[in-house]
Amino acid sequence: MTSVQAPARPTTALDALPRPPCAELLGWEVVDARPAEGWIRIGFDARREFTNPAGFIQGGFLAAMLDDTMGPAVFAHTDGRLYTPTIDLHVSFLAPAKAGRLYGEGQVVQLGKSIGFIEGRLMTEDGTVVARATASCRLVEAAKALG
């Protein structure tokens, strides 16, 4: 009997970085990536501690998850050359999110000389989109920003 293994996800420049405390808190992990296309999929653990009085994940945590999806899309796309401090972030909350696994998909829209445009969406395991975002970011040499 042979076992079938899931295909390994592509390696990215993110693999060489330690996860920062904010990523640890959110349960951040790269699930899939197509760096050449500027696309990434990140998994998050939406913990019960993130819920509001109605029992849904508070919007600030959802925004943080989106922000921590879109920036890594640029970092992976540029093979770790560019770090992306967010200039502005616009989030649309589309459906309530319950505690559990959430997935963010980030896409590079356009990179200029000093400004980038990115978008993302956050969804449940069954594919329900709970939030969407667009952002603009500064493009900073990672060696200067992270070194």
pLDDT score of 145: 86
Q: CA-CA distances (angstroms) from residue 42 to 31, 32, 74, 117?
A: 5, 7, 13, 18
Residue 98, domain member (yes or no): yes
Q: How many domains does the chain have?
A: 1
Q: What is the CATH classification number for the domain harbouring 119?
A: 3.10.129.10
* CA–CA distance, 62 with 113 (Å, rounded to integer): 29
**Does this model's pTM top 0.75?**
yes
Range of the domain at 119: 19-146
Residue 28, domain member (yes or no): yes
Residues of the chain with pLDDT under 70: 1-7, 147
CB 73 within 8 A of CB 31: no
Residue 49, domain member (yes or no): yes
Say what the alpha-carbon torsion angle 132, 7, 15, 123 is, to the nearest 10 degrees. Answer: 10
Could you give the residue ranges of the DSSP H alpha helices within 14-117? 21-26, 59-77
Tens of pLDDT, residue by residue over 67-80, are 999 999 999 999 99
